[in-house]
Amino acid sequence: MKKIWKIKEYDNSIIEKITSHFKISPIIAIVLYNRGLRDIDQIQNFLSYNEHEFYSPFLFKDAEIAVDLIKEIVDKGEKIAVFGDYDVDGITSVAIFHEFFTDQLKYDNVEYILPEREIGYGLNSAFIDRIVDKGVSLLITVDCGICNVDEIRRAREKGIKVIITDHHEIPDDIPEAEAVINPKLPDQYPISYLAGVGVAFKVIQACLERLELDKDFVDKIIDLVALGTIADIVPVLDENRLITKLGLDKMKKHKRPGIEAIMKYVYGNDINSRTISFGIAPRINASGRIGNPKVALDLLITKDKHEAQTLAKELNDQNRKRQTIEMGIMKKADQLVKEDPLNEKVIILSSYDWNIGVIGVVSSKLKDNYFRPAFLISIDKESGIGKGSARSVQGFHLVESLNMCSDLLIEYGGHEFAAGFTIKEENIPAFHKRLVDIFENEQAKGDSEGPTIEVDMEVEPQDVNMHLYDELRQKLYPYGEKNPFPRFAMRNVSIKNLNVFSGRHLSLWLTDGFHNIKAVCYNFLKE
């Protein structure tokens, strides 16, 4: 689909004020303005954050309860289970709890559990029965749990105490646990958009402070917190920006064996938000999509370089397999989109043959290609139960839309732009029709112009130099969601000396007849 280029507008008087106050170039001031930073205090906070600006973890109402409960169970020597989701956010969340219990509490009576994709997202009754049989006294959920009312109730009825750490949308019914730590709960934490690993990190911070442990331990795990934060595409603003900056700096200075090993399969040597999003994260996610997520967990926590190399190769092989499966599903999905007129509004496709671990990636690509919400469902032929993954566009809030379809669903959860759900096969046609009605009548009225590419400003060729690059990096780094890489446009330039390298990348020169700029387009050509 053709995209509309939109050059953002700005208020010159505010740009002059920002430029003068901070002694920065107008280009930097305009980029800050376009990120919603227009107040002097806002910009000051954005530019001057440091390691002393973590919010107190005790702003979470139940943080103290969580710390006391962890201490009580450890003091008694009773068994703990840490249960996480199978994506990068969940895996890193489990990993930092492993590091915490091992390094700080020297406590090994802990079971770390990452479900395989076929079992489904979140807790289930079979898992609760399993931990009851194993004599677990405390269950800590990471990156999940907020929607599991029945499962949490069942665990507590069996005598298991529960700490929920999650960041997903708050449902109408919240599980009754001993402690619920979620930044989306009202009137608690200053920001609502921590990743799941960020929430787990705050609980660990609370333990370090309350139990008078080594506060420098934060530096030992901050790389994993940043990895999960970037991979989960939460806004890299406020405390997330601090987490990301400190974590990337840690990875640059001292890579843990697993990160060093996986980087050998990633194009480029510099670790930044882009190499994590498009290089490291897909390989870690591959273990949860088509393999066993424990492989990724072992990679992140191992201290042995040889083991790390073996695990990294396994993850890279799984990622290649995932790409092959994905291409097959994508080809079939493109054909199916055209067969149902309802797909012109909301894409809903289902199959008995699709790998449940890959449909989320395909949903995302369909959403991008067709610029409309996309739902893919993998149906189990024997049970008639479909597990789905959805991705959405601006203006169509997935969780709110799924709330309106709750009578047709077995379970669901997620965020504004990404969600998962379970549905009976027989309900799919009614589900499709209702979502189309929601799309037409209530949700996506602001997106009629179609997909856009937002440009920060127009520049001249002479503006683009190493001084600008250095200033952008110094003031705006690290980049990520809600603080994207700056995007500039140039008019009246021509391309010369176009070359292809490594089969899919382009190198070229741009010129206006007076000034020449060397440029590179990565992944411009399809493999």
Give the Å distances, CA to CA, from 289 to 301, 315, 419. Answer: 20, 11, 15
Are residues 8 and 458 in contact, defined by beta-carbon separation less than 8 angstroms? no
Are residues 137 and 158 in contact, defined by beta-carbon separation less than 8 angstroms? no
Position 110 in a domain: yes
Are 215 and 93 in the same domain?
yes
Rounded to 10 deg, the angle between the 466-476 and 26-34 helix axes is 40
Are 62 and 195 in the same domain?
yes
d(CA 491, CA 513): 12
Position 375 in a domain: yes
Structural domain ending residue among the three candidates 445, 478, 500: 445
Position 146 in a domain: yes
d(CA 41, CA 498): 45
Q: What is the mean pLDDT of residues 343-357?
A: 94
Position 87 in a domain: yes
d(CA 205, CA 434): 44
Are residues 315 and 293 in contact, defined by beta-carbon separation less than 8 angstroms? no
pLDDT for 2: 72
For 268, residues 6+ apart whose C-beta sits below 8 A from its C-beta are: 275, 279
- Report pLDDT digits (tens) over 107-151: 999 999 998 765 556 688 889 999 999 999 999 999 999 999 999
Give the Å distances, CA to CA, from 204 to 175, 208, 373, 425. Answer: 22, 6, 37, 42
- Report pLDDT digits (tens) over 395-430: 899 999 999 999 999 999 888 899 999 999 999 999
Are 363 and 214 in the same domain?
no
**CATH number for 108:** 3.90.1640.30
pLDDT for 398: 93
Helix (H) / strand (E) element for 311: namely: helix 305-337
Domain of 217 in residue numbering reads as: 57-233
pLDDT, the chain, mean: 92
Are 216 and 364 in the same domain?
no
Q: Token match 């997202």: residue? A: 121
User: Which 8-state DSSP code applies to residue 290?
Assistant: H
User: What is the DSSP secondary-structure string of 393-430?
Assistant: -TT--HHHHHHTTGGGEEEEEE-SSEEEEEEEGGGHHH
Q: With bands split at pLDDT 50, 70 and 90, how would you rate the model's confidence at 383? A: very high
Contacts 24+ apart (CB under 8 A), 336-340: 337/366, 337/370, 340/432
Give the Å distances, CA to CA, from 114 to 46, 227, 281. Answer: 36, 17, 17
Q: What is the mean pLDDT of residues 99-114?
A: 97
**C-alpha triplet 100, 278, 448: angle, nearest 5°:** 115
Structural domain ending residue among the three candidates 180, 215, 233: 233
For residue 193, count CB atoms less than 10 angstroms from its CB and return exposed for 0-12, middle for 13-18, buried for 19 or more.
Answer: buried
Q: How many CB atoms lie within 10 A of CB 521?
A: 13
What total number of domains does the chain contain? 2
User: Which 8-state DSSP code applies to residue 280?
Assistant: I
**Residue 366 clears pLDDT 90, i.e. is over it:** yes
User: Which 8-state DSSP code applies to residue 81?
Assistant: E
Q: What is the mean pLDDT of residues 305-323?
A: 96
pLDDT for 269: 72
Rounded to 10 deg, the angle between the 40-47 and 12-22 helix axes is 50
d(CA 169, CA 192): 10
Are residues 76 and 161 in contact, defined by beta-carbon separation less than 8 angstroms? no
Q: How many CB atoms lie within 10 A of CB 20?
A: 10
Q: What is the mean pLDDT of residues 53-75?
A: 97
Q: With bands split at pLDDT 50, 70 and 90, how would you rate the model's confidence at 8? A: very high
Position 327 in a domain: no
**CATH number for 397:** 3.10.310.30
Are 75 and 195 in the same domain?
yes
pLDDT for 448: 52
d(CA 523, CA 525): 6
pLDDT for 444: 46
Position 400 in a domain: yes
Q: Give the distance, in angstroms, between the CA of residue 200 and the centroid of all CA atoms in the same chain.
A: 15
**Residue 303 clears pLDDT 50, i.e. is over it:** yes
- Report pLDDT digits (tens) over 222-279: 999 999 999 999 999 899 999 999 999 999 998 899 999 999 998 767 899 989 999 9
Q: With bands split at pLDDT 50, 70 and 90, how would you rate the model's confidence at 208? A: very high
Structural domain ending residue among the three candidates 445, 466, 489: 445
Q: What is the mean pLDDT of residues 18-43?
A: 94
Are 96 and 209 in the same domain?
yes
Cα dihedral 505→511→515→518 (10° resolution): 0
For 249, residues 6+ apart whose C-beta sits below 8 A from its C-beta are: none
Q: What share of the chain is helix, strand, coil (3-state, %, to 5)?
A: 50, 15, 35
**Residue 197 clears pLDDT 90, i.e. is over it:** yes
Percent with pLDDT over 70 in the chain: 96
Contacts 24+ apart (CB under 8 A), 239-242: 239/53, 239/54, 239/55, 239/190, 239/191, 239/194, 239/198, 240/191, 240/193, 240/194, 240/195, 240/198, 240/480, 241/46, 241/49, 241/478, 241/480, 241/483, 242/49, 242/50, 242/51, 242/53, 242/54
Position 387 in a domain: yes
Position 187 in a domain: yes
Q: With bands split at pLDDT 50, 70 and 90, how would you rate the model's confidence at 304? A: very high
Pair type for strands 452-455 and 457-458: unpaired
